[in-house]
Structure 1
Amino acid sequence: MRIILAHKFWELTGGADVFFRETERVLREAGHTTQLVATGTPAADDPENLMLMQAPKYDQGGALNKARHLPAAIYDKAKREKFRALIREFRPDIVHIFAINVHLSLSIIDAAEAEGIPIVATFNDYKHLCPNYKLYDGKDICFACKGGKFYHAALKSCCKGSRALSAASTIEAYVHSAKKLYQKIDHFTFSSDFLAQTTQEFWPDRDLSWSKLLNPFDSAKYEATKAHQPYGLYFGRIIGEKGVDCIVSAADKIDGFPIKIIGNGPDEDMLRAQAAERGLKNIEFLGPMWGDALDEVLSQAGFVIVPSTWHENFPYVINQAFAFGRPVVGSNRGGITELVDHGERGLIFEPKDPDALPKAIQHLAENPDEMLRMGRNAKEYSDALFNDATSLKNLLKAYEGGKNAFAHHRG
């Protein structure tokens, strides 16, 4: 099979970029012919099957420069034509898009449609429903834009707290809606049932063709052999919707049980100051860590805490925790509950209940045998589900779904 895979970034900036690259690797190693499309700066070690395009400079310079580049950030006609030429040259069986908004452009959907190629889309956030990606207005879960009422994003300034960015994102959502770009996608893949159900709730009149596709991840290569040390661990961005403040608030209710926090972000200094002011000796901020350094701390943790306050669909940190046989204490949000399965691979708590997280931490701290059982369950679940064979099977299922939906609606 010949597949074009398109994503906004070639540079690795987060889990979505890893997903894109690993999906291509799984397909290529299985003998399929792939073509990568992304934005970025060319480098000597770029793969031969990579086409790089230039992202619009909408966030640089003054107001005049931003306004000049805004149309391309919303719908880039030049990228549409360049992508259409690539399709004619490469002759794919499937176009598989990932996160392509702004930097790459949803205009490439029109290119694929014009050339009669089935389109499969992998979405792991809510950009197709919500101008700020998260269904979260900075304070709480928000469904205000449901029904195409995207103006709420501008009214709430919920896109990174910026009025200008929120206004631009609102315009973007209305343009994409008017052009019916999402309706031209034949098949969707989602990383959680929650994301699929929410999409169907927002689009009640659409016959949605979808399947589940989880991150390609080789869980078996990680060993769950190290002893569980008496500490809980958070690792990731330290930003409002990640709920790290819930951990700091819980720290004086867990009888001194140690919690390590790895990462950085806009809320780090504030939370460090709060911990110091309250004299919390059991909270340790370790700063950002990657690779072997992170694995060393993670592989010895008693459990991992994922306290997100927004509807996260598939936090990559849960992948990593389970691969090392560590159970997860996760919030009742998005796809977290599906992965953890309360009582099986960890515990689920209500993030709005100030006593729920400390109770969950205390429970595992005081019941090490139960913690070990959940960790074993997590490792078995992870190894069975996260491997190349399963990823390839689910990819091919999605492509078949794309072809069938294409034949039904456009063929």
Structure 2
Amino acid sequence: MPTLLNINSYHYPKGGADAVYLRHAALMAEAGWEPAFFSMVHEENLPSEWSPYFVSEIEYGKSGSKLDQLAAAGKIIYSLEARAKLKELLRARRPDFAHVHNIYHHISPSILGLLAEEGVPSVLTAHDLKLLCPAYTMLTGGAVCERCKGGRLHNVVAHRCMKGSLALSALIYLESSVHRLFGLYRDHLARVILPSRFYLAKFQEWGWPAEKLTYIPNFIEADQYTARPDPGGYFLYFGRLSPEKGVATLLRAAALAQVKLRIAGAGPAEAELRALADATGAQAEFLGVVRGAALSELVSDSRCVVLPSEWYENAPMSVLEAFAMGKPVLGADIGGIPELVRPDETGFLFASGDAEQLAARMRHIQGLPAPALRDMGNLASRFVRDRFSSKVYQDAMLGLYSALRA
């Protein structure tokens, strides 16, 4: 039985990329690959027999001495500890293949050269645009920015793109510059997997060779969801409450359209968003973090799910989850969202950041008869089951692994 080494900074579902890392490992195990794991020590990690090989925790920005912070900064750029720990793992069990997810800042690409030296082919799923731009969201001052294109990485410092901090922006600039100078990602990865065609095109625009890139969309276990396409009376946003998600625009639009809105999630912008809801008179209810069956019930009872993003979304799982439950999606026309949301078929699109156009779409959806929304929800459910099933994903990944091991 071949062994697949799964690598990610967090060994628990902290975010979407971490959840994909765990689901991917489980799906490949079903296909006959024995899973091994390499990650970072964290108190919330899932139990693992591989945890003795995990690297020590790094959470840059936590309180500590200047020496501790300097050591953490060094690990962010090139972690000798991660390389040594991985070497121990490889001596105990040599994998046949390695699949990398998010490793920057915590594990670092120091491990990629070691895998190449040991003859273990590795691929990386790009969950964001970090390999292109030091600021992985490609946002500056709340707006999409591509100033770093063409190697002009100094812009991340000039515009203080990392949380408005000169020190943090300088560190991330140094990190990306070193990684590019020594080709730590590009020279050692056999392939980069892009879950959206938008990201595939963006990587090529920024200079990555086409032969290093492969498009494989995300998957969803659609059979675990029950499609309930009967429309409810409210619009729903579920996800992180941070500026790039466009929830402020959504609140303004809901106030203009005078429709009911429910918001499930938490994040750094929550207090500001609550104040905005009060100021605009939006009929918005903040529900906090909702997961599992409670979230499924919330989605199923909604009229439409809204994804008002204002950054280059990749291939958002929230769209696939909404579709699986028979709900159309009203999405911003940005990033990979238009690849999933087909106007008047599986949902509706609006210009990202345009509250007035979003309000117009919400009024239109509010006025649609139930049979029209029900038909759209049924079509969305079929679409996700046909195009984004675990079988489609598994076959594509196994085909890639086989080709790269040949």
TM-score range normalised by the length of the shorter chain: over 0.9
The SS at the match of 1:182 is coil
Tell me which residue corresponds to 1:194: 198
Q: Which moved more, 1:295-304 or 1:380-389?
A: 380-389
1:226 CA drift (Å): 6.1
Tell me which residue corresponds to 1:408: none
Of 180, 185, 188, 2:189 maps to: 185
Residues in 2 aligned to 1:207 and 1:89: alpha-carbon distance in whole angstroms:
35
1:397 aligns with 2:399: yes
1:129 CA drift (Å): 0.6
Residues in 1 aligned to 2:65 and 2:164: alpha-carbon distance in whole angstroms:
18
The SS at the match of 1:234 is strand
User: How big is each residue's C-alpha offset from its partner over 1:294-324, in whole Å with a ceiling of 9 and x where there is no partner?
Assistant: 2211111111000000011111211211110
Unaligned 5+ segments in structure 1 are: 405-411
Amino acid at match of 1:321: A
The SS at the match of 1:261 is strand
Seen in structure 2, the aligned counterparts of structure 1 residues 166 and 83 have a Cα distance that, compared at 3 Å, is: same
Q: Which moved more, 1:375-384 or 1:298-307?
A: 375-384
Amino acid at match of 1:17: D
Seen in structure 2, the aligned counterparts of structure 1 residues 105 and 93 have a Cα distance that, compared at 3 Å, is: same
The SS at the match of 1:83 is helix
Tell me which residue corresponds to 2:284: 283
Residues in 1 aligned to 2:61 and 2:359: alpha-carbon distance in whole angstroms:
41
The SS at the match of 1:8 is coil
CA-atom RMSD in angstroms: 1.9
1:139 CA drift (Å): 1.6
User: How big is each residue's C-alpha offset from its partner over 1:107-153, in whole Å with a ceiling of 9 and x where there is no partner?
Assistant: 01011111122121111100101112111113211111111211111
Of 101, 111, 114, 2:114 maps to: 111
Of 219, 226, 231, 2:222 maps to: 219
Amino acid at match of 2:69: K
Amino acid at match of 2:87: R
Q: Retained in 2: the 8 A contact 1:80–1:111?
A: yes
Tell me which residue corresponds to 2:232: 229
Q: Retained in 2: the 8 A contact 1:94–1:118?
A: yes
Amino acid at match of 1:199: F
User: How big is each residue's C-alpha offset from its partner over 1:26-71, in whole Å with a ceiling of 9 and x where there is no partner?
Assistant: 1112221221111123789613355422133532224443123211
Residues in 2 aligned to 1:14 and 1:298: alpha-carbon distance in whole angstroms:
19
Residues in 2 aligned to 1:58 and 1:108: alpha-carbon distance in whole angstroms:
20
Residues in 1 aligned to 2:396 and 2:305: alpha-carbon distance in whole angstroms:
28
Seen in structure 2, the aligned counterparts of structure 1 residues 246 and 44 have a Cα distance that, compared at 3 Å, is: closer
Of 261, 267, 272, 2:269 maps to: 267
Tell me which residue corresponds to 2:159: 156
Q: Retained in 1: the 8 A contact 2:11–2:45?
A: no
The SS at the match of 2:340 is helix
Tell me which residue corresponds to 1:48: 49
Of 126, 131, 136, 2:129 maps to: 126
Residues in 1 aligned to 2:318 and 2:285: alpha-carbon distance in whole angstroms:
19
The SS at the match of 1:330 is strand
Tell me which residue corresponds to 1:409: none
Q: Which moved more, 1:389-398 or 1:84-93?
A: 84-93
1:90 CA drift (Å): 2.1
Query: Please, what TM-score do these two structures have when normalized by structure 2?
Result: 0.93
Tell me which residue corresponds to 2:379: 377
Query: Please, what TM-score do these two structures have when normalized by structure 1?
Result: 0.92
Q: Percent of aligned pairs with the same residue? A: 32
Amino acid at match of 2:325: F
Seen in structure 2, the aligned counterparts of structure 1 residues 207 and 292 have a Cα distance that, compared at 3 Å, is: closer
Tell me which residue corresponds to 2:145: 142
1:182 CA drift (Å): 1.8
The SS at the match of 1:370 is helix
Q: Retained in 2: the 8 A contact 1:8–1:104?
A: yes
Tell me which residue corresponds to 1:350: 351
Seen in structure 2, the aligned counterparts of structure 1 residues 259 and 146 have a Cα distance that, compared at 3 Å, is: same
Tell me which residue corresponds to 2:29: 28
Work out the number of aligned pairs and report it: 401
Residues in 2 aligned to 1:383 and 1:226: alpha-carbon distance in whole angstroms:
15
Q: Which moved more, 1:38-47 or 1:395-404?
A: 38-47
1:73 aligns with 2:47: no
1:101 aligns with 2:104: yes
Tell me which residue corresponds to 1:407: none
User: How big is each residue's C-alpha offset from its partner over 1:153-212, in whole Å with a ceiling of 9 and x where there is no partner?
Assistant: 1111111222221111000000101110122211111110000110011015x3433222
